[in-house]
Amino acid sequence: MTQNNLALVSGANGHLGNNLVRLLIEKGIPVRATVRNISNKAPFSGLDCEVVQADITDKSSFVKALQGVETFYAVGASFKLWAKDPKKEIYDVNIQGTRNTIEAAAEAGVKRIVYVSSIAALDYTILPTKESYGYNPDRRDMYYNSKNDGEKLALELAKKLGIEIVSVMPSAMIGSHAFLPLNVSYGILKLILKEIPVDTKITMNWVDVKDVAEGCYLAACHGRTGERYILANEKCMSITETTILANTLYPDLKIRVPGSVPKFMLFAIAGIMELSAKISGKPPMLTRKDIAMFSGLQQNFDITKARKELGFNPKSPQQTVKEALAYLIQHKELLK
> Which of the four pLDDT bands, split at 50, 70 and 90, describes residue 336?
confident
Q: Does residue 325 surpass a pLDDT of 90?
A: yes
Q: Exposure pattern of 155-180 as b/e (b: 16+ CB <10 Å)?
A: bebbeeeebbbbbbbbbbbbbbebbe
Give the distance, in angstroms, between the CA of residue 235 and the centroid of all CA atoms in the same chain.
18
3-state secondary structure the chain: CCCCCCEEECCCCCHHHHHHHHHHHHCCCCEEEEECCCCCCHHHCCCCCEEEECCCCCHHHHHHHCCCCCEEEECCCCCCCCCCCHHHHHHHHHHHHHHHHHHHHHHHCCCEEEEECCHHHCCCCCCCECHHHCCCCCCCCHHHHHHHHHHHHHHHHHHHHCCEEEEEEECEEECCCCCCCCCHHHHHHHHHHHCCCEECCEEECEEEHHHHHHHHHHHHHHCCCCCEEEECCCCCEEHHHHHHHHHHHCHHHCCCCCEECCHHHHHHHHHHHHHHHHHHCCCCCCCHHHHHHHECCCCCECCHHHHHHHCCCCCCHHHHHHHHHHHHHHCHHHHC
What mean pLDDT comes out for the span 76-104? 94
CA 34 – CA 37 distance, rounded (Å): 9
pLDDT digits (tens, 9 = 90+) for 229-288: 999 999 999 999 999 999 999 999 999 999 999 999 999 999 999 999 989 988 898 999
What mean pLDDT comes out for the span 279-305? 94
pLDDT digits (tens, 9 = 90+) for 167-177: 999 999 999 99
Angle at which helix 317-330 crosses helix 184-194, to 10 degrees, equals 70
What mean pLDDT comes out for the span 56-84? 95
Q: pLDDT at position 282, please? A: 87
Of 117, 224, 83, the residue nearest 166 (C-alpha): 224
Q: Exposure pattern of 141-153 as b/e (b: 16+ CB <10 Å)?
A: bbbbbbbbbbbeb
Q: pLDDT at position 211, please? A: 98
Give the distance, in angstroms, between the CA of residue 88 and the centroid of all CA atoms in the same chain.
20
pLDDT digits (tens, 9 = 90+) for 96-155: 999 999 999 999 999 999 999 999 999 999 999 999 999 999 999 999 999 999 999 999
Of 59-63, 78-82, 92-96, 239-243, the least confident: 78-82
CATH hierarchy code of domain 7-174+206-232+300-314:
3.40.50.720
> 115 burial class (0-12, 13-18, 19+ CB within 10 angstroms)?
buried
> Which of the four pLDDT bands, split at 50, 70 and 90, describes residue 192?
very high
Q: pLDDT at position 3, please? A: 52
Mean pLDDT for the chain overall = 95
Q: pLDDT at position 306, please? A: 98
C-alpha R_g of the chain: 19
Give me the residues paired with residue 165 across strands: 113
Cα–Cα distances (Å) from 144 to 18, 56, 112, 134, in that order, read: 23, 18, 25, 14
CA 25 – CA 48 distance, rounded (Å): 7
pLDDT digits (tens, 9 = 90+) for 197-240: 899 999 999 999 999 999 999 999 999 999 999 999 999 999 99
Of 139, 146, 144, the residue nearest 91 (C-alpha): 146
Q: Does residue 321 surpass a pLDDT of 90?
A: yes
> Which of the four pLDDT bands, split at 50, 70 and 90, describes residue 15?
very high
Q: pLDDT at position 41, please? A: 86
With pLDDT > 90 as the criterion, what percentage of the chain qualifies? 91
Residue 170 vs residue 336, higher pLDDT? 170
Contact 236, 129 (CB under 8 A): no
Of 106, 108, 231, the residue nearest 160 (C-alpha): 106
Q: Does residue 2 surpass a pLDDT of 80?
A: no
* pTM attached to this predicted model: 0.96
